[in-house]
Structure 1
């Protein structure tokens, strides 16, 4: 039996990916106006980005505990083996809720075979981990082998990203409002990365072209060009043109052709905003 891979919508993979029989989606919640939506199910990212451009405040919340419980119960009743690779616990309560729901389901189904992993990753960084795990599951790998690869990918996954407008990060408490105002005046673009699942400012760079070049340089500095069959992810906040430009910049200096480009989904995009560009890769020479 193929092992079931579960991911939440913060992985920013496409709907087509989740149409696979052995892959399941747990959507996070998106709220604006008077309505609550399910990311990727009842709302798409373009709607969210347009609302943000119009000045609407978009909020998010973790996935539904009841939906998790229903999915975990179904897995138990079918006797399946499953692995849930969750959005970083430093950015969402979804992982903790999943652990609690697993405990509840196990009260009635003690044989539930479900492993829940705190990925410490976000957006397509999480997506690349999930995608690799799904490929292994599809090819019949054992649970132990898949878990070992997930652990490796998580420990070596780099997240390097920039936002086009600091105001969105300010609304989410990531930067001060004063910093956002000054950054907008000076055309300063923040470069950020992740450490142990947390968003950490890395540098401040003036100008869009310079920050893209710097992302490329950081990838070089962190051994992103040395990995064999390197899996490179680029996600964007409704700015595919810039995402493709970054891909071409990388391809000019490497033979790599294993790229995944996706739009940042509603749950992550509500905090990062339109115009965000994010780069993901492994920092070691064993892919």
Structure 2
């Protein structure tokens, strides 16, 4: 039996891992004004962050793939595969999961060949779930096994980060305006996490150093030893720091576990901005 795993570009899985695992990525959309780009297809991640830094008065917006986009992918995959497991960003943050379900209903009216999973998280936390599902399949599991394992993993992943500002999240409607206003007035470097599928401020330190310490404490130390760890960054200015953090946290990962550095792509980066450091973990 042949089974495909589908996810979306908000997972931020590095391209080499996508290719190695044989994952199928459906891109989200990013807009600058009237210009629309497919995430990581029509606009490279480095180009996106350069433009974000250059055009400070233009805030990017995002939109999910349509049901038709998913149907097109599913139709092609079902020509060569018996089943599909489709794993996506939290339905409380994006309409992507709903689009996937809608596209699946069109491509598979019986509802028997496509299994959908709402990760209730984002970025590489969703990515780790997708990679785990692919591993189940590689070990001989069927789509039901992979979807069950993915759903069981949902409560054991976390994505969190510390952006320079909450303005992007506020403008994108992912955070209440009052929270962003308070953070700006008090010059807070917020620590954000996805909790029960939604973005919450989990710490409010007043310096980058303290924010990073709080991020590590709440995400890594509270859940170590870890099965998977990704240290993420947005623009290149935060890449070296991400590498240093990854080196420092290697001891928190179980023997045989996965640890990596990854770049937050344009779809997620549109809501965080330059200068963000993030952590995605599973335990």
Query: Which TM-score band applies after superposition, normalised by the shorter structure?
Result: 0.7 to 0.9
Q: Which residue of 1 aligns with 2:69?
A: 67
Q: Which moved more, 1:53-62 or 1:252-261?
A: 252-261
Contact 1:45–1:269 under 8 Å retained in 2: no
Q: Which moved more, 1:245-254 or 1:258-267?
A: 245-254
Task: Give CA-to-partner distance per residue, 1:28-87, whole Å, 9 cap, x none.
Answer: 011113221111211122222122212122111011332211122223333521100011
Q: Which residue of 2 aligns with 1:249?
A: 248
Q: Which moved more, 1:138-147 or 1:248-257?
A: 248-257
Contact 2:203–2:214 under 8 Å retained in 1: no
Aligned length in residues: 278
Q: Which residue of 2 aligns with 1:217?
A: 217
Task: Give CA-to-partner distance per residue, 1:186-206, whole Å, 9 cap, x none.
Answer: 542111111221111111001
Q: Which residue of 1 aligns with 2:229?
A: 232
Secondary structure at 2:84 match in 1: strand
Distance 2:252 2:93 in 1: 33
Q: Label 1:79 to 1:237 Cα distance change in 2 as closer, same or farther (>3 A).
A: closer
Distance 2:243 2:122 in 1: 20
Secondary structure at 1:188 match in 2: coil
Distance 1:40 1:187 in 2: 32
Give me the TM-score of the superposition, normalised by structure 2: 0.88
Task: Give CA-to-partner distance per residue, 1:193-232, whole Å, 9 cap, x none.
Answer: 112211111110011111111122213552x2235xx211
Contact 1:237–1:264 under 8 Å retained in 2: yes
Contact 2:108–2:114 under 8 Å retained in 1: no
Shift of 1:250: 1.9
Distance 2:86 2:107 in 1: 15
- Map residues 1-287 of structure 1 onto 2, 5 A cutoff: 1-20=1-20, 22-54=22-54, 55=56, 56-107=58-109, 110=110, 113-175=113-175, 180=180, 183-184=183-184, 187-219=187-219, 222=222, 224-227=223-226, 230-238=227-235, 239-251=238-250, 258-283=258-283
Q: Which moved more, 1:39-48 or 1:117-126?
A: 39-48
Give me the TM-score of the superposition, normalised by structure 1: 0.87
Secondary structure at 1:91 match in 2: coil
Q: Which moved more, 1:4-13 or 1:212-221?
A: 212-221
CA RMSD of aligned residues (A): 2.4
Secondary structure at 1:149 match in 2: helix
